């Protein structure tokens, strides 16, 4: 096979975890999540920002054309995987809620704290009092940590402004961070994250504001790809969620939903009804919801960092979802209240231990399936010619070492679009 000239060749890879099964398109569903499509003693050739060839190291080194300026990297028998993708984050905010952490240790629940003036609305107040540049400065620190930990693309939600102006301020911060930072940010409008204090007595009025003003303005300025709603007892009920999702869809936004996180409100069923790209959390999702999601091709995005950090005994039914043929994805839910972490590596460890996922399933969920959860499965998430060269060299010879060595950082180098960025 004749290849065009590579600008970068990474060779001598013990396990090149490609995630690419030539016999299938789409995310890895069910049992296929265990198949990482590893090339042993592999190599990968890149031209500019794209992958041009993968294969066995000795063979590829002979086949691939190199120019004088081409770079050759010896992976020294280490593992290479796609860059990690975090398909559910709230990374642009102000302040911190470490006091709530202590209150939860002392026995208060997340919802109790929220109803007593803490929770999302505490962060909303801090965000309303912050400038866009302050928000960006905070966000940049989080993105820097994510990148060092091997995350190369994230989904990023608004939802701490809850006025038209403050939601737009957050989304503009997200857009500018996307332009300025190595990490790609896929923006989600989440004006329906919480009912702001000034609408406490008239939540339907707030829903009207979201639908008649926020969504049209956000769409007019092309500030979001997705619309997300926190559908939960005491937050947005099923009726309100439906109205918001109908409006968002009519305006061309794709749908995500915080579903069945703290109680079963029929969020999974709603996700299926609206052909949502993903439904997230799903701790309390039932069999019918799971079945309908499978039929509609909705990706369950599971957030084991949240159940861990909220110290919940109950976790999402990951095993059942995989058995039923769903394409499970994982994310951090990085936010100042329920999951203050940037680490997809930690999330994989928790997914293995608490959600009983295999290491291979966790890796599929954090790469290819995560890419499909943000509708980017055709560009990133696996290492195959044509896709962007977003990849990681790990300080490991065997992929199983990744979640096994927990709480730290096993990433050795990060390549984003063919450039070494860490
Ligand atoms: O996904 N559930 C709603 N939103 C976040 C929490 C955000 C916050 O507490 O600030 C979540 O858990
Ligand atoms: Fe969330």
Q: Tokens 């060779």 — which residue? A: 11
Alpha carbons 62 and 56: distance in angstroms, whole number: 10
Whether residue 159 has its Cβ less than 6 Å from ligand 1: no
User: How many Cα atoms within 13 Å fall on the side-chain side of residue 107?
Assistant: 0
Side-chain half-sphere CA neighbours of 246 within 13 A: 9
What's the pTM?
Answer: 0.98
Could you report the per-residue pLDDT of 141-174, keeping only the tens digit for each? 999 999 999 999 999 999 999 999 999 999 999 9
Query: Quick one: pLDDT band at residue 79, thresholds 50, 70, 90?
Result: very high
> Which segments of 210-324 does DSSP mark as H helices, in order?
215-220, 238-250, 267-273, 287-296, 304-309, 318-323
Ramachandran sector of residue 181 (left: φ over 0; alpha: ψ -120 to 50; beta: rest): beta
In 181-251, which ranges are continuous DSSP H helix?
203-209, 215-220, 238-250
Cβ neighbours for 56, distance < 8 A, ≥ 6 positions apart = 39, 40, 41, 42, 43
Under the banding of pLDDT at 50, 70 and 90, the label for residue 2 is low
Q: Which of 109, 194, 335 to mutate to test the pocket of ligand 1 (most atoms within 8 A of CB)?
A: 335
Quickly state the pLDDT bin for 4 (edges 50, 70, 90): confident
What digits encode the pLDDT tens for the residues 210-228? 999 999 999 999 999 999 9
Give 272 Cα–ligand 2 centroid separation in angstroms.
Answer: 19
pLDDT in tens, 105-115: 999 999 999 99
Nearest to 242 by CA among 187, 204, 298, 280: 204
- Determine the atom of ligand 1 nearest the C-alpha atom of 339: 12
Q: Give the model confidence (pLDDT) of 167-205 as tens digits.
A: 999 999 999 999 999 999 999 999 999 999 999 999 999
């Amino acid at each position: 096979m004749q290849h065009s000239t590579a600008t970068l060749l990474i060779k001598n890879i013990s396990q090149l975890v490609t995630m690419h099964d030539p016999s299938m398109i789409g995310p890895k569903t069910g049992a296929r999540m265990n198949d990482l499509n590893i090339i042993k003693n592999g190599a990968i050739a890149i031209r500019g920002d794209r992958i041009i060839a993968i294969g066995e190291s000795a063979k590829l080194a002979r086949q691939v054309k190199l120019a004088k300026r081409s770079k050759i990297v010896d992976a020294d028998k280490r593992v290479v995987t796609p860059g990690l993708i975090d398909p559910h984050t709230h990374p642009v905010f102000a302040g911190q809620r470490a006091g709530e952490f202590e209150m939860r240790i002392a026995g208060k629940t997340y919802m109790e704290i929220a109803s007593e003036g803490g929770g999302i609305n505490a962060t909303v107040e801090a965000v309303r009092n912050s400038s866009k540049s302050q928000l960006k400065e905070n966000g940049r620190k989080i993105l820097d940590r994510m990148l060092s930990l091997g995350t190369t693309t994230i989904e990023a939600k608004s939802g701490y402004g809850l006025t038209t102006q403050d939601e737009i301020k957050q989304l503009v911060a997200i857009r500018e961070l996307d332009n300025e930072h190595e990490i790609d940010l896929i923006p989600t409008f989440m004006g329906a994250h919480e009912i702001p204090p000034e609408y406490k007595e008239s939540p339907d009025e707030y829903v009207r504001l979201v639908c008649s003003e926020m969504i049209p303005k956000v769409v007019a300025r092309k500030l979001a790809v997705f619309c997300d709603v926190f559908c939960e007892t005491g937050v947005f009920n099923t009726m309100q969620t439906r109205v918001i999702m109908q409006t968002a869809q009519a305006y061309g936004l794709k749908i995500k939903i915080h579903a069945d996180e703290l109680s079963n409100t029929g969020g999974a069923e709603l996700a299926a009804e609206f052909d949502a790209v993903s439904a997230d959390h799903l701790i309390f999702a039932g069999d019918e919801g799971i079945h309908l999601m499978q039929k509609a091709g909705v990706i369950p995005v599971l957030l084991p960092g949240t159940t861990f950090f909220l110290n919940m005994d109950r976790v999402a039914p990951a095993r059942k979802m995989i058995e039923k043929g769903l394409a499970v994805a994982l994310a951090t839910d990085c936010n100042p209240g329920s999951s203050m972490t940037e680490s997809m590596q930690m999330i994989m460890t928790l997914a293995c231990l608490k959600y009983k996922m295999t290491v291979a399933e966790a890796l599929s969920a954090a790469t290819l399936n995560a890419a499909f959860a943000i509708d980017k499965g055709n560009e990133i998430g696996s290492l195959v010619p044509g896709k962007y060269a977003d990849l990681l060299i790990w300080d490991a010879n065997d992929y199983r070492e990744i979640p096994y060595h927990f709480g730290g950082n096993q990433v050795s180098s990060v390549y984003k679009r063919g450039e070494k960025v860490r």
